[in-house]
Structure 1
Amino acid sequence: MAGARTVSRILTVSGILMMVVGGVGFILVMILNAFVLDEFDAYGEVPIPGSGHVQLPAGQAQISFHTSVTGSPSSGFPMPPLKLSIIPPEGVADPVLTENHGTLTTINSDTHIRIWTAEIPAAGTYQIRTDGQVGGYINPQLAFGKESSYGYLHWVFLGLLGLGLLDLIVALFLRKAGGGRRTVGLVSNPSLDPYTPPSYTQTSHTPPSYTPTDQGVRLEQLKTIAALRDSGALTQDEFEAEKRRILGE
């Protein structure tokens, strides 16, 4: 029982620590990935409208709308209608473009939001052509990049947060189980049950029995007839006669 309580305390402390580290780490990684480690323009940018060449590796590329803003844009940031053409090198298949809107990120009036994901069939220099209704935007561009290389870290801290929560659940279960066993022990032991009255044996208050001797019996009888004589129930002659009979004279 003491061991279960010790394990419960250890799990409680470790669970709280893991939840704190996991929660704080998750928030920090999300902030760093969004504002510091984000590589949304890792491969280059092309103005809107305009054209240019971008060196793209094989695999997935993130395409974001990038502009400067005044003030703090809300989540309802208006996206302008855009057109994009990606012309591959000779002999390479066209990239597959998929609409994939991401989260709006703003740092010091610099705003970007992912709008497409492109599957690049082979590494090479791709010609990019852009167009759109961007008359009200400051220096609008399409940025070609990739997700942060540390994007997996938020899953690590999220898993740590889950393990901490699991530790607390197990600790609570052990604590309840230990308390239940203590209660059963008290009830099952009559000597510890506050509702069970103490039992007493009759011999604990009964004086020890003994067998009187003949001399003792005669002494008691003499005391009895002496009391009867003193009370007037017996005359002196009757007392003397009873005395001789008791003493066997």
Structure 2
Amino acid sequence: MKSSPGPRILTVVATVTMILAGLGFVASLPLNAFVFDEYDAYGEVPIPGTGRVELPAGEVTVSFHTVLVGGSGSGLPVPPLKYRMTGPDGADVQLAEDYGSTTTVNNDARVRIGYLHLAEAGTYDVELDGNVSAYLDPSLAFGHGSAFGWLPWALAAVFGFAVVDLIIARVWAARTRRATADPWQPPVADATPPTIRAVPTYPTSEDAIRVQTLESLARLRDSGALTQDEYDAEKKRVLDGR
């Protein structure tokens, strides 16, 4: 029986998909962090200083941005900052603090410090101050995360589906091998009829005695102890059962 090519094809497809999804997942993480992340999409305001930024309605990411001198092995420490933001209607805007991890590219470092949740788009006035003498060109950047933030999750889901497909392919292949190695065959009827042995017949005890007696009479006649007439008379008596 020829094995089905289905398990082999599914195994190849699942393996290739797992490799591509894994590589894509690993590549998408740094790309989202360093390339696609638009942390300063809406502008920056120096610290200390004042500035105006055009912000959209919705969620805006706020990051502390500076240039590192000599690098930082434990992340970028954010100094105490004083900031005041007012919206188009003159109302104060509150920053929801939510610190993230440090991202560094060629000594250019940034770390998320929180989010703004804005009810309307417009021009926002920003006033900043803080003890930033140890930092080079510090500023607050206003922007948003990567537009491809969903990509790592999508690739992880594809990888998971590929793993399931690979398991199905292996189970399918194992069942196919078992069916090929031990196919069921219906019993074949034997065309040759069985040999029936003839059962030998044996004389009964009376017949055996008769035969023995006749043999003895024949020997007596042959030896001359009985005449032919006497032999015939005795033979008739034996045969008649008397």
**Given the two structures, how large is their TM-score scaled by the length of structure 1?**
0.68
Q: Hey, what does 1:83 align to over in structure 2?
A: 82
**How many angstroms does 1:177 deviate by?**
3.2
Q: Hey, what does 1:55 align to over in structure 2?
A: 54
Taking the TM superposition and a 5 Å limit, the aligned residue runs for 1:104-143 are 104-143=102-141
**How many angstroms does 1:90 deviate by?**
1.9
Does the 8 Å CA contact 2:76/2:110 hold for their aligned counterparts? no
Q: Hey, what does 1:159 align to over in structure 2?
A: 157
Does the 8 Å CA contact 1:19/1:164 hold for their aligned counterparts? yes
**What is the CA deviation profile of residues 186-232 of structure 1, one whole-angstrom value per residue up to 9, with x for unaligned ones?**
6x7799xxxxxxxxx9x69x9x98xxxxxxxxxxxxxxxxxxxxxxx
Does the 8 Å CA contact 2:82/2:129 hold for their aligned counterparts? yes
**How many angstroms does 1:85 deviate by?**
1.7
**How many angstroms does 1:111 deviate by?**
0.4
Q: Counterparts of 1:189 and 1:97 in 2: how far apart (Å)? A: 78
Q: Counterparts of 1:160 and 1:2 in 2: how far apart (Å)? A: 32
Does the 8 Å CA contact 1:18/1:163 hold for their aligned counterparts? no
Q: Hey, what does 2:168 align to over in structure 1?
A: 170
Does the 8 Å CA contact 1:96/1:120 hold for their aligned counterparts? no
Q: Counterparts of 1:137 and 1:10 in 2: how far apart (Å)? A: 58
Q: Counterparts of 2:102 and 2:135 in 1: how far apart (Å)? A: 15
Q: Does 1:64 align with 2:63?
A: yes
**What is the CA deviation profile of residues 76-95 of structure 1, one whole-angstrom value per residue up to 9, with x for unaligned ones?**
4322122222111126x544
Q: Counterparts of 1:2 and 1:45 in 2: how far apart (Å)? A: 69
Taking the TM superposition and a 5 Å limit, the aligned residue runs for 1:205-216 are none
SS in 1 for 2:89: coil
Q: Counterparts of 1:57 and 1:126 in 2: how far apart (Å)? A: 10
Identify unmatched segments of 5+ residues in structure 1: 192-200, 210-236, 239-249
**What is the CA deviation profile of residues 102-135 of structure 1, one whole-angstrom value per residue up to 9, with x for unaligned ones?**
2211111100111111111111111111122222
Q: How many residues align?
A: 199
Does the 8 Å CA contact 1:54/1:126 hold for their aligned counterparts? yes
SS in 1 for 2:176: helix
Taking the TM superposition and a 5 Å limit, the aligned residue runs for 1:1-249 are 5-90=4-89, 94-181=92-179, 185=182
Identify unmatched segments of 5+ residues in structure 2: 199-221, 224-242
Q: Counterparts of 2:70 and 2:173 in 1: how far apart (Å)? A: 54
**Given the two structures, how large is their TM-score scaled by the length of structure 2?**
0.70
Whichever residue aligns with residue 158 of structure 2, its letter is: L
Does the 8 Å CA contact 1:95/1:121 hold for their aligned counterparts? no
Q: Counterparts of 2:138 and 2:166 in 1: how far apart (Å)? A: 50
Does the 8 Å CA contact 1:57/1:120 hold for their aligned counterparts? yes
Aligned-pair identity in percent equals 43
Does the 8 Å CA contact 1:101/1:114 hold for their aligned counterparts? yes
